[in-house]
């Protein structure tokens, strides 16, 4: 980070500018009895050289995805990122966190977001996409809030196979709203469409399913959507953007709203965030009036030149205040740009090849890993790049041993699914080589 000067002379100049004589005067309105009358209980100040050394030691305790062979998944994947993504996203004119409020003065930023929205529409097969949300969990939640507002119904149905952290985010929002969230069990690792038919009613605002789901397996999305639509409910599909290279797009199987975690589109793992929330929906006035976040539209200026503007702003918090469609009044502009550059760089054929590599390598890994005595696939349904394994003994302890052997071998499921205490998920992206997969198999043999 940049070095910022703050000398006594600087402080004196700033205090003079705002008309006070000391820093202490800034806290004069805080009652004396509420103020701390001692120094903060923190270590003494360090010199710059000492501080750099101290921070380096702390950072050395971290282990990133690149410090071991990475088979982690659960919504964050070790996909390849073309160097052009960093080059474009690192340019100073783009290196910003979100769309500015004086947006029309920033035509380059708006054009980049507009291109992102266009790509998301192509990726999802739906008519409109917003300027991005925070991550996959906020996308699921905002889609559910949209459905509640559009249908005026009080109930949200969500599959247990949806990412548990997405479900937790939804339940946190719903706790203070006049609605109820029902989780539909998925004991076999997928949502049975017959269970959806039994669960939906005239009170159902939407049904939410994820495919590939949290276990990596495919859901019967068309049948689930049909069951929702039969009672007038909306169908919200959470999807994996990379898998769309070979799978049907959400709009092609009847999704009304499509949401996703966009991390796999050119965003590094970076210890869990920040990431990118994708949301797209029908180009219908009912949806447009309820879509959260920002929307960039294309128009022409007074000279007839193509230009871009923030559109439908009365929906937003800075205008509608408490009546806004969402409390999200910004976007992940930098990460949306990365996704747009990634998709432009790889193109439809590159995305297809990436997805195919993931499928082939994941199935090879599953075949070899399940040859280890005591290891088996937990679920039998088709999967793409991630799958659940049942392992002998303590899954968490086994993963710790495999980390020591140089492998981030997967995620333990017990923290979210107690019934799957001896199970892990393993994700295999296009980056993994045959040698790395074979190495994991040998390490597993040595530790089970």
Answer whether the bond into residue 286 is a cis peptide, omega within 30°. no
| Whether the Cβ atoms of residue 283 and residue 74 lie closer than 8 Å to each other | no
Q: Please enumerate in sequence order all residues whose Cβ is within 8 A of that of 3, keeping only pairs 6 or more positions apart, or say none.
A: none
The Cα 365–Cα 372 span in angstroms is 11
Q: 128-129 and 411-412 as β-strands: parallel, antiparallel, unpaired?
A: unpaired
The per-residue pLDDT for 387 is 98
| Whether the Cβ atoms of residue 390 and residue 376 lie closer than 8 Å to each other | yes
Closest Cα to residue 77, out of 316, 321, 242? Answer: 242
Q: 180-184 and 204-211 as β-strands: parallel, antiparallel, unpaired?
A: unpaired
Per-residue pLDDT tens digits of the chain, which is 448 residues long? 567 778 899 999 999 999 999 988 999 999 989 998 898 999 999 998 999 999 999 999 988 888 899 999 999 999 999 999 999 999 888 876 565 666 676 888 889 999 999 999 999 999 999 999 999 999 999 999 999 999 999 999 999 999 999 999 999 999 999 999 999 999 999 999 999 999 999 999 999 999 999 999 999 999 999 999 999 999 999 999 999 999 999 999 999 999 999 999 999 999 998 999 999 999 999 999 999 988 999 999 999 999 999 888 767 776 777 777 776 666 788 899 999 999 999 999 999 999 999 999 999 999 999 999 999 999 999 999 999 999 999 999 999 999 999 999 999 999 999 999 999 999 999 999 999 999 999 999 999 8
The per-residue pLDDT for 294 is 86
The tokens describing 248, both together, are: 């049907």
Cβ-in-10-Å burial (0-12, 13-18, 19+) of 446 comes to exposed
Cβ-in-10-Å burial (0-12, 13-18, 19+) of 176 comes to exposed
Neighbours of 146 (CB within 10 A): 27
For tokens 């004396």, what's the residue? 32
pTM score over 0.85:
yes
Dihedral of the CA atoms 365, 249, 159, 376 (nearest 10)? -10
For tokens 């160097």, what's the residue? 83
| Whether the Cβ atoms of residue 104 and residue 110 lie closer than 8 Å to each other | yes
């Amino acid at each position: 980070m940049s070095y910022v000067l703050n000398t006594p002379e600087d402080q004196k100049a700033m205090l003079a500018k705002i008309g006070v004589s000391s820093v202490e005067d800034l806290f004069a309105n805080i009652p004396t009895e509420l103020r701390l009358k001692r120094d903060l209980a923190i270590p003494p100040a360090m010199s710059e050289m000492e501080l750099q050394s101290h921070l380096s030691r702390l950072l050395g305790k971290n282990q990133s995805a690149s410090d071991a062979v990475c088979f982690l998944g659960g919504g964050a994947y070790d996909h390849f990122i073309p160097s052009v993504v960093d080059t474009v996203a690192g340019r100073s004119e783009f290196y910003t966190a979100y769309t500015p409020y004086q947006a029309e003065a920033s035509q380059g930023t708006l054009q980049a977001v507009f291109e992102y929205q266009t790509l998301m529409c192509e990726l999802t097969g739906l008519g409109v996409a917003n300027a991005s949300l925070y991550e996959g969990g906020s996308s699921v939640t905002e889609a559910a809030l949209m459905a509640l507002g559009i249908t005026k119904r009080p109930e949200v149905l969500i599959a247990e196979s949806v990412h548990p952290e997405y479900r937790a985010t939804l339940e946190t929002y719903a706790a203070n709203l006049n609605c109820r969230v029902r989780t539909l069990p998925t004991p076999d690792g997928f949502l049975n469409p017959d269970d959806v038919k039994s669960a939906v009613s005239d009170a159902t605002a939407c049904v939410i399913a994820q495919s590939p789901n949290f276990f990596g397996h495919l859901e019967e999305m068309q049948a689930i959507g049909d069951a929702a639509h039969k009672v007038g409910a909306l169908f919200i599909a959470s999807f994996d953007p990379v898998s769309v290279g070979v799978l049907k797009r959400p709009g092609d199987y009847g999704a009304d709203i499509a949401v996703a975690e966009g991390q796999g589109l050119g965003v590094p793992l970076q210890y869990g965030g920040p990431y990118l929330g994708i949301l797209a929906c029908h180009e219908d006035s009912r949806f447009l009036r309820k879509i959260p976040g920002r929307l960039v539209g294309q128009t022409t200026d007074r000279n007839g030149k193509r230009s871009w503007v923030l559109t439908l702003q009365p929906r937003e918090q800075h205008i509608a205040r408490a009546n806004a469609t969402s409390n999200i009044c910004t976007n992940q502009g930098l990460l949306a740009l990365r996704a747009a550059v990634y998709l432009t760089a790889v193109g439809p054929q590159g995305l297809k090849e990436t997805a195919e590599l993931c499928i082939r390598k994941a199935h090879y890994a599953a075949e070899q890993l399940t040859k280890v005595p005591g290891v088996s696939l937990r679920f039998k349904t088709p999967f793409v790049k991630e799958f659940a394994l049942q392992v002998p003994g303590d899954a968490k302890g086994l993963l710790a041993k495999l980390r020591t052997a140089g492998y981030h071998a997967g995620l333990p499921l017990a923290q979210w699914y107690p019934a799957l205490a001896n199970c892990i998920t393993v994700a295999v992206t296009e980056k993994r080589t045959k040698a790395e997969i074979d190495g994991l198999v040998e390490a597993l043999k040595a530790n089970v």
